[in-house]
Amino acid sequence: MGQSNFRIMITGGAGFIGCALVNYLLKHTGHQLLVLDKLTYAANLAAVERFNTEPRVNMVQGDICDASLLQQLFARFKPDAVMHLAAESHVDNSINAPADFIQTNIIGTYTLLEAARSYWQTLTAIEQQVFRFHHVSTDEVFGDLDETDNLFTETTPYAPSSPYSASKASSDHLVRAWHRTYGLPVLISNCSNNYGPGQHSEKLIPKTISSALAGKPIPVYGDGQQIRDWLYVDDHAAALYLVLTKGDVGESYNIGGLNELSNLTLVQQIYDLLDELAPAGFCQLSKGESYRQFIQFVADRPGHDRRYAIDCTKIQTNLRWQPLESLKSGLLKTVQAYCLSR
C-alpha cells in the first residue's frame, strides 16, 4: 500500500474517534485524506480548523445522507478506501429522539454503501482488489452479557437494547449484505467504550471530570454496577488502520481496551485522580473534602445493559495489535488534559 498516493475517505472525521484517526494517519502515514463531516454539535471545531491547514487533508462539510454530494466526492477524490465513522452515538439521545439515529446510522450508511458500490464498479480489476470499505461499529450491537463471565466475540449473536445500538446493528447488517450480494470489499470493527482527551462532554468520563471541576454532581445510573470495557482512543485509531490495511475482506474484528470495571468504580477512580491533581481550592471543595462527594445516584436508564466485555483475541493474534494504554495511564492523561485546559 503506497504512502503518498493512497487516498482515504473518512466519514465522521471531525468526531472524537474520527479526529484521533485523522491525527494518527497524519503522523504515521503519507496518505491523502478526504474528511467528510456534517459538523453537528459533537464535532471538534478546533480540530477542523487544524485539518484545514494540513495539505494532505481535504475537509468537506456534508451529510452522508446526501447521495449527490457523495457521488461528487467519490468522482473527484477517487478514494482507495473508505473509513466510515459518521454516526449518532449517544445512547441517552437515542432514547429521547431516535429518528436522528435511524436517519444517520441506517439511511446514511445505506446511502454511503450505494455511492461506494457505484464508484467501485467503475474501477479496473486491480483497483477493485485494492479498494476497501471499513465500517466502524460498536460492541453495543451484541446486547447485554448481564452477570455472566462471557465475552463478546465476532460471532456473538446481535441483540441490541437501545435505539442507538439497534441502528448500529442495522448498519452492520447492511454492510455485510453489500459484501455478500454485490461483492463490495468490506471490513467491520466493533469497539468498546472509547475515552481520552477532547471527548464531547456528554460522555461519561468527560462529564464526570468537567462536572467535578465545576463543583457539580455527576448522576450515576442505578447502583452504578454496570460494567464496561474502556479503550483509549489513540489505541483504537491504531487498531482501525491495522484492520483497514491488514484485515481480511469480509471479516469483522473486535477492538477492546482490556479494561473492564463498573461505572461507579470508574467515577471513583476519576475523583481520586482529581483529589491528587486538582485539590481543594480548584473548585468548590473545602480542605479535606473529596470529589467523591459529587456522586449522585439516579434512576436507571431504560433498557440499560448490565455488562459489555470484548474478546479481542482475533485482532491480537491475526493483526498483532495490543493496546498501549492501561486504564490507569489513559485516565491520568485524560484528567491531566482537562485540568491543564482550565
Active site residues: 139-140, 164
Phi, psi of 319 (to 5 degrees): -115, 0
At residue 71's C-alpha, the angle toward residues 65 and 73, to 5°, is: 95
Q: How far apart are CA 177 and CA 175, in angstroms?
A: 5
For the stretch 245-250, contacts whose Cβ atoms lie closer than 8 Å and that sit 24 or more positions apart, written own/partner, are 245/1, 246/318, 246/319, 247/134, 247/187, 247/318, 247/319, 248/187, 248/318, 249/132, 249/179, 249/185, 249/186, 249/187, 250/179, 250/185, 250/186, 250/187
What CA–CA distances, in Å, run from 174 to 106, 113, 116?
Answer: 8, 8, 13
